[in-house]
Amino acid sequence: MNSKSKGEFGERIAKTHYESLRYEVLEINYRFKRSEIDLIVLQEEILLIFVEVKNRSRKDFGEAETFVSPAQQKRIKEAAEDYIYRINWKKDIRFDIACVSPNGEIEVFKDAF
């Protein structure tokens, strides 16, 4: 499986996960300048969640803070600020990391950064 296929696989699993929680997926692969947010999800009109999806080759995922570099976090936050401004969002936000294994298992780290 190539990188693009792996990315799409992980995003599909994460999207299905959030939808199973009755969250609304607003955006997939939202782009702002050089940044991309894999998923933007809405929880009951009160919480906007920005999700970075990571594919992991092992079941033991490790520490969430090692999955996304500080530079990548900064780019994701800049894209999130653009989205928040664009839709005039005034409520809470959260940044999650969704780790997906090759067999489709998912582990979500809420408030990861």
pLDDT at 64: 58
Q: What tokens does 12 get?
A: 């599909």
**Alpha helices, DSSP H, located in 45-90:** 70-87
- Global pTM exceeds 0.75: yes
Distance of alpha carbon 39 from alpha carbon 36, whole angstroms: 9
Domain containing residue 101: 3-109
The Cβ of residue 86 has, within 10 Å, a number of other Cβ atoms equal to 10
CB-based contacts of 80: which residues, under 8 Å, 6+ apart?
Answer: 37, 50, 93, 95
Domain count, the chain: 1
| pLDDT > 90 in the chain, percent | 81
pLDDT at 24: 98
Q: Residue 61 sits in a domain of what CATH number?
A: 3.40.1350.10
Distance of alpha carbon 24 from alpha carbon 27, whole angstroms: 9
The pLDDT tens digits for 28-77 are 999 999 999 999 999 999 999 999 999 887 656 566 567 899 999 999 99
What is the average per-residue pLDDT within 76-82?
Answer: 98
User: Where does the pLDDT of residue 2 fall: very low under 50, low under 70, confident under 90, or very high at 90 and above?
Assistant: low
